């Protein structure tokens, strides 16, 4: 499972989510679950973000910034967390840039095995 925490106004999270969308389309049939978690108070703005980018990966809204963010001890945004089938964290990445794409894909490929 991959959980990406951020907010819709953060360009780094937007880039991460758009890249994860591509990986979602490729790896969902292999059982890898990728979820974007928007830590935004405005659910309508999140819906507009999803519609604008034509996202098919699940996007959850955590308006209280508590549920997953607290559970996974997210202290900075964006943060992307990778877990194995036993829900053990295998990788935690703060931020996102072009250089992270191969790292993300390699970890997702490993999780899909």
In the chain, the number of structural domains is 1
Strand partners, 27: none
Q: Which domain holds residue 85?
A: 2-112
* Residue 37, domain CATH: 3.40.30.10
Average the pLDDT over each of 62-66, 79-83, 85-89 and give the range with the smallest value. 62-66
Quick one: pLDDT at residue 65? Answer: 61
Residue 63 confidence (pLDDT) above 80: no
3-state SS assignment for residue 34:
strand
In the chain, % of residues over pLDDT 90 = 84
Q: Quick check: 27 and 20 in contact, CB under 8 A? A: no
> Quick check: bond before 78 cis, omega within 30?
yes
Q: Quick check: 96 and 13 in contact, CB under 8 A? A: yes
């Amino acid at each position: 499972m991959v959980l990406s925490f951020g907010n819709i106004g953060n360009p780094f999270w937007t880039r991460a989510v758009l890249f994860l969308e591509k990986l979602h389309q490729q790896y969902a049939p292999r059982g890898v679950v990728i979820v974007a978690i928007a830590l935004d108070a405005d659910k309508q703005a999140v819906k507009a973000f999803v519609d604008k980018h034509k996202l098919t990966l699940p996007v959850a809204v955590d308006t209280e910034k508590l549920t997953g963010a607290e559970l996974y001890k997210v202290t900075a945004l964006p943060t992307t967390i990778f877990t194995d089938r036993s829900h053990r964290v295998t990788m935690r990445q703060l931020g996102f840039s072009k250089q992270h794409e191969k790292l993300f894909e390699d970890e997702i490929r490993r999780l899909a095995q």
